[in-house]
Amino acid sequence: MKQIFYLFLFAVLSFIVACSGPKGIVKIEPNEKEVMQEDSVEYELIVFDTGFETWYMLQNSPAKYRSQQYYENWNYQYVSAWNYNATQTRRRSFFQPIYGYEQGVDYGFELNHKLFYYFQYVEHILGIEIMPNGPRSLTF
Quick: pLDDT tens for 29-68.
666 555 455 556 788 888 888 899 999 999 888 878 899 9
Residue 132 forms part of a structural domain: no
Structural Rg of the chain based on CA atoms: 16
Residue stretches of the chain with pLDDT short of 50: 5, 9, 12-13, 15-17, 19-22, 35
Position 118 in a domain:
yes
The total of structural domains in the chain comes to 1
Residue 137 confidence (pLDDT): 56
41 and 34 Cβ atoms separated by less than 8 Å: yes
pLDDT at 39: 54
According to DSSP, residue 64 is labeled G
Residue 64 lies in a domain: yes
Give domain status of residue 77, yes or no.
Answer: yes
Domain that holds residue 60: 2-125
Q: What is the pLDDT of residue 12?
A: 46
- Backbone phi, then psi, for 45, in 5-degree steps? -105, 125
Tell me, yes or no, whether 116 lies in a domain: yes
Q: What is the pLDDT of residues 45-54, one digit of tens each?
A: 888 888 999 9
What is the reported pLDDT for 88?
87
In a domain, 137, yes or no: no
Q: For residue 130, is it within any domain?
A: no
- 135 domain residue, yes or no: no
Res 36: pLDDT: 52
- What is d(CA 79, CA 85) in angstroms, rounded to the nearest whole number? 10
Q: What confidence score (pLDDT) does residue 42 get?
A: 82
Q: pTM, whole model, 2 decimals? A: 0.70
